Amino acid sequence: MNMRKQISAALKEAMKAKDAGRLSTLRLINAAIKDKDIALRGETGEGEVSDADILGILGKMVKQRQESARAYEEGGRLELAEKERAEIAVIEDFLPRQLSDAEIAAAIDAAIAETGAESIRDMGKVMGVLKGKYTGQMDFGKVGGMLKDRLG
């Protein structure tokens, strides 16, 4: 089942269960996917995002909510931070399992070998391979630092 169908099925389940918090987050996910559909339609004339695009959208949504939760905690707004964390939990239901540091290191080594990367100038090629294979499974901000250490 593709990502779009999984999210739609979860949305229907949340409606039946009258789970307002989950339903709200699933509607936000659907809205973000539809926004991306519309943007693609404007660029290419075709308006269907791929599962990889959806994983990217979900990853971005998690990152935004993590930043918001941190800001709310610093501001003493713990109830809002908890709401953000609840949304993160719902979004993460649709993301693949995050790779451990050891698995990320192995993936980086494999991508370096695959691209023949030798210096920091080859970083873009390696990141392209990693993003193609591991979208949604690793934090590419963190991976960039690890990759610089390897190639630098």
Averaged pLDDT for residues 15-30: 94
- Look up tokens 């193609």; give the residue: 132
pLDDT for 47: 66
pLDDT for 45: 67
For the chain, list the domains and their CATH numbers: 3-92 (1.10.1510.10), 101-151 (1.10.10.410)
Quick one: pLDDT band at residue 14, thresholds 50, 70, 90? very high
CA–CA gap between residue 114 and residue 111 (Å, rounded) = 5
Task: Kindly state the tokens that stand for 24.
Answer: 């709200």
pLDDT for 150: 83
pLDDT for 83: 95
Query: For all residues of the chain together, what is the average pLDDT?
Result: 88
Which pLDDT tens digit goes with each residue over 101-149?
888 889 888 888 888 888 888 888 888 888 888 877 888 888 888 888 8
Decide if pLDDT at 33 tops 70.
yes
Distances (CA, A) of 27 to 16, 56, 62: 14, 17, 15
CA–CA gap between residue 123 and residue 133 (Å, rounded) = 16
